[in-house]
Amino acid sequence: MNNSFLWGGATASYQCEGAWNEDDKVDSMWDAYLHEKGLENGDVASDFYHRYKEDIRMMKEGGQNSFRFSLSWPRIILDKEGTVNPKGLQFYHDLIDECLRQGIEPFVTIYHWDLPQYLEAEGGWQNRATCDAFMHYARVVMKEFDGKITYWTTFNEPRWFIFNGYFIGNYPPECHSAQMTVKGAWHVLLAHAMAVQAFREEGIQGKIGIVHSYTPVDGVDDRPETLKAMRYADNYCNNWVLDTAAKGEIPQDMLDKLSAEGIDLSFMNEADLQIIRNNHVDFLGLNYYSRTLVKPYTEGETTLIVNNTGKKGKGTSKTIVKNWFEQVQDPDSEYTEWDTEIYPKGLYDGLIRAWERYHLPIFITENGIGCYEDVSVDCVQDDWRISYMNDHINAIMNAMDDGGDVRGYFAWSSFDLYSWKNGCEKRYGLVAVDFENGLCRRPKKSYYWFKDVIESKGERVERRKL
């Protein structure tokens, strides 16, 4: 790995900041939803808002040279009229300046799911006006922090928050509608392109990209019907985000299939399509946790279930998209307690495919394993995380050897944080946060291992051909 390779951890504002109502911040849709339901929430989370200096110091001491984090829209824009909160901007100036002081490259996500509740109340991502509001917010932050940031990304994982919010219903606004899913997806793609347009119009320094929840698709065999199911699955999982952001092309066979199945696409007007066609990204951020293994569709209604129980095989993750494909589990693979397949080869395959298809620089913007861990000890001996990271970094290095242009790796997550509907019990951090005891921080074994890997420029990774 060369010296400019970015090594770091990633977080998201709602998952780590806490300070949910401080310094004039207004409610996000997650604040409103979790408070109303009385569920575990991110009111305090890792208290990063007050402890960011300590956290950034630990990144620096851990040898990391970059940090991926998101800006909180409801901290920065206070109402529908677009009023800017100077205290919100100041917090991010302080955070970014601290990163720069410590030699940590800030890698910024503009939107990681915390939509202001005042916009959700007006229809959220169902409403075209949210795209204009996003463009305004993106323009404000890009101009404000211009010159301090080299890497901007618009959205974190459009697929994940749109499907979970509008179809699966485990995220706010808890809907179960294919029509709303497609319309929400369209508005997010449009808002993304509008922000890229604003970036170019304003002549902002640096590069702009998007972050996708990348799940490369494999088939159970190579029969023609399986290949067809794989194409449907790839459109569903990846292409609608990546083809659109990288090339300005929404897959036509996907749109035809959606229309044939009765989805009304009349909201896709020509003027907005032009914005999408003309505004492409400079790089791709890919979050990799697992692949999608598929077989042809056999029977049953569309069923999408995510395992938020933390009990393997209970409330099993399931994806059947009627007339498109069915996802299957590989009996030979290992799975986490949340039913996520551990499959590093998928990262290698996916990187090669993404490179061949888009020829854009790639950052692995998230990769990690969620586990139950006892953090009352001095140093969590998380050998499972070391093995997981080793095998995935090895996959990246193999892909680079075979021509892929990968520019950075961000572990999810820099430190333990709030894992949405899985709560704080599902830990991903390189640094343990003791949520029960004063939120004190203690590096895990993986933190030191990662430091060695970075200092050795990857030499410390145990290599194997996949």
Q: Which is nearer to ligand BG6, 72 or 213 (CB)?
A: 213
Q: Which is nearer to ligand BG6, 244 or 317 (CB)?
A: 317
Minimal CB distance to ligand BG6: which residue? 419
Amino acid at 31: D
The residue with tokens 């300046």 is: 97
Q: Which is nearer to ligand BG6, 1 or 210 (CB)?
A: 210
Amino acid at 223: R
In this structure, the number of other CB atoms found within 10 A of the CB of residue 220 comes to: 15
Least distance in Å: CB of 256 to ligand BG6? Answer: 29
Q: Which two tokens stand for residue 114?
A: 């915390």
Instruction: Name the catalytic one among 105, 157, 341, 373.
Output: 157
Q: Which is nearer to ligand BG6, 366 or 382 (CB)?
A: 366
What is the edge-to-edge ordering of all strands in the sheet holding 325-327? 217-219, 292-295, 325-327, 318-321, 303-305
Least distance in Å: CB of 420 to ligand BG6? Answer: 5
HSE (side-chain half, CA atoms, 13 Å) at 84: 11
CA-to-CA separations, 77 to 69, 106, 383, in angstroms, rounded:
18, 21, 42
Instruction: Name the catalytic one among 105, 120, 337, 366.
Output: 366
Least distance in Å: CB of 224 to ligand BG6? Answer: 33
Q: Which is nearer to ligand BG6, 171 or 297 (CB)?
A: 171
367: enclosing H helix or E strand:
none
Q: Which is nearer to ligand BG6, 181 or 398 (CB)?
A: 181
Least distance in Å: CB of 221 to ligand BG6? Answer: 29
**DSSP result, 268-295:** --HHHHHHHHH---SEEEEEES--EEEE
Least distance in Å: CB of 109 to ligand BG6? Answer: 9
Least distance in Å: CB of 35 to ligand BG6? Answer: 19
Find all residues with CB under 8 Å of 346, minimum gap 6, and list them.
215, 216, 218, 288, 290, 291
Active site residue 81: no
How far apart are alpha carbons 401 and 397 in whole angstroms? 6
Closest-CA residue to 233 (of 220, 245, 244): 220
CA-to-CA separations, 320 to 174, 254, 262, 300, in angstroms, rounded:
19, 16, 18, 8
- Distance, CA of 318 to chain centre: 20
CA-to-CA separations, 195 to 82, 153, 213, in angstroms, rounded:
15, 10, 20
Active site residue 373: no
Contact 138, 132 (CB under 8 A): no
How far apart are alpha carbons 283 and 246 in whole angstroms? 8
Residues that bind ligand BG6 (CB under 6 A): 12, 15, 156-157, 160, 213, 287, 366, 370, 412, 419-420, 422, 426
Least distance in Å: CB of 42 to ligand BG6? Answer: 11
Amino acid at 28: S
Q: Which is nearer to ligand BG6, 45 or 454 (CB)?
A: 45
Q: Which is nearer to ligand BG6, 105 or 157 (CB)?
A: 157
Least distance in Å: CB of 139 to ligand BG6? Answer: 24
3-state secondary structure 291-318: CEEEECCCCCCCEEECCCCCCCCCCCCE
Catalytic residue annotation: 157, 366
